[in-house]
Amino acid sequence: MNKAVFFLIFTILYFNLYTQNIEQEYQSLVKSNDYAKALTKVEEGIKQNPNNAALYLMQVECSLYLYSSNRDTSEQLLTKAFQSLSKYHQLNTNSESFKTLSAQLSIPIYRKAAIYMNLEQYGAAKSWFYKTMQLKSWANEKDPDLIFYTGLSAYNSEDFLLMEKCFTQLVKEQYTNASIYEILASYYYQNNSLNKAKDIVITALKAGIYISPETEILALYVIEKYRNCNEFNTLNKQFSWSTSESIEIEKVVGRIFYLCGDTTSCIEQYKRIYYKYPTDTTVLIQLGLVYYNRGIKYLQEAKNIIAKSDKNIEPYRKLKDLYIADMKSAIFYLEKALQLNVTFSTAINCLYQSYKQLQRKEEMSKLQQKYPNLLD
């Protein structure tokens, strides 16, 4: 037998005997209720033989006893215990004792995280919550609320990657807390992941989870931006956006109707808002502009008909009547807006052009005198 092999065998035997001796002393100290000395003895053993998995479990057992009996409630003790379980996990993952100790250690660490959360020390809270998540995972325990608080503390400490990881997992599990959908949607929207933002909102709505109008409107903004008219029509029927209790949602719906070329629905939408909020200048101006633009379209169609054949008098007259009616409606709403001290140049110019279309020279002159610097 060469010297190298002999030395290897001797080393293995030495460490096995040393570990057995440590374990015997440990059991003796535990029986005498001297957990502090037992912990010291185990830590000495780990220094001598860091690859002995059993010693790490002994260290965790001692730490849990000292912590639960209020003999040592330091964060350092909990941190060491967590590190010991992590090391054991690297060496041996099939022990039932490991799972049991993971579940037991998760309790004080969870409490520690909650304390920091209540103190609004979100970075520390995130760290302890994340440790708890790992422990629960090792114990094969599921806790959606823990994932929520981990994500929330991550969000508040600006760890957005961890927040996204936690909250997207909860979305897949159909977690019903509305804030995860609102935070995710806002985060995606602010980072220009617009379709992701929309999908999160729609997921919440389809699950029947109440989210604030401010969050719900993000989906409409995305639909408006990309003019997804078919999708809008489908979702509008499903979620009744047209008759929302939120005026802002109703306004966006009106804009989308217009962008999608559905002028009739657009006018109906804005009128619905007008009847509820008759002094909302934005709605008054939008109604005026939509009526004016539709009226000009009717006039152009009428001219095209008569240009093709002067025999098409009846269709021409109908379009001309529609044109005049829309100009009058435009004037009605734009005048109401100006009565509320609106100084928006587009509205003033549109009113001026409406007067001009109907040859109301006196009104044109008054408008010029009142707003000499705002008319083009």
Residues 348, 367: contact at Cβ < 8 Å?
yes
Q: What is the CATH number of domain 278-376?
A: 1.25.40
- High-pLDDT (> 90) share of the chain, %: 75
Domain ranges of the chain: 1-94, 278-376
Q: How far is CA 48 from CA 17, 18, 19, 195, 241, in A?
A: 12, 9, 9, 56, 69
pLDDT digits (tens, 9 = 90+) for 79-136: 999 999 999 999 886 789 999 999 999 999 999 999 999 999 999 999 999 999 999 9
Q: How much is the pLDDT for 8?
A: 39
DSSP states of 96-128:
HHHHHHHHHHHHHHHHHHHHHHHTT-HHHHHHH
Could you count the other beta carbons within 10 Å of the beta carbon of residue 331?
21
What residue ranges of the chain have pLDDT lower than 50? 1, 3-18
171/152 Cα distance (integer angstroms): 14
Asked whether this chain's domains 1-94 and 278-376 adopt the same fold, the reply is yes
- Look up the CATH superfamily of 1-94: Tetratricopeptide repeat domain (1.25.40.10)
pLDDT digits (tens, 9 = 90+) for 170-192: 999 999 999 999 999 999 999 99
Reading the block at residue 223, the tokens are 């639909």
| Amino acid identity for residue 157 in this structure | S
Using DSSP's 3-state secondary structure scheme, residue 316 falls into: helix
